[in-house]
Amino acid sequence: MNVVVTENYEEMSVAAANVIAEQLKAKPDSVLGLATGTTPIGLYAELVRACDAGEISFANAQSFNLDEYRGLPGTHDQSYRYFMQDNLFDHVDIDVEKTHVPDGSMEDAQAACDAYEQAITQAGGVDLQLLGLGHNGHIGFNEPCDSFPVTTHCVELTESTIQANSRLFDSADEVPREAYTMGIGTIMKARKILLVVNGSGKAEIVRDVLRGPVVPQVPASILQLHPDVTVVLDKEAAAAL
Choosing from 136, 178, 204, 226, the catalytic residue is 136
| For the chain, the helix, strand and coil percentages under 3-state DSSP, each to the nearest 5 | 40, 20, 40
Residue 138: active-site member: yes
| DSSP E strands, the chain | 2-6, 31-34, 62-65, 67-69, 99-100, 128-131, 153-156, 178-181, 192-197, 229-234
> CA-to-CA distance for 196 and 206, rounded, in angstroms?
10
Rg (CA), the chain: 17
Classify residue 158 by its DSSP letter.
Answer: P
Choosing from 46, 117, 127, 143, the catalytic residue is 143
Strand order in the sheet with 192-197: 2-6, 229-234, 192-197, 128-131, 31-34, 62-65, 99-100
> CA-to-CA distance for 202 and 232, rounded, in angstroms?
13
Residue 103: active-site member: no
Residues 6+ apart with CB under 8 A from 128: 19, 20, 23, 30, 32, 33, 190, 191, 192, 193, 194
Classify residue 174 by its DSSP letter.
Answer: G
DSSP string, 185-213: HHHHTSSEEEEEE-SGGGHHHHHHHHHS-
Choosing from 46, 65, 67, 165, the catalytic residue is 67
Residue 18: active-site member: no
Choosing from 138, 165, 208, 236, the catalytic residue is 138
Active-site residue numbers? Answer: 67, 136, 138, 143
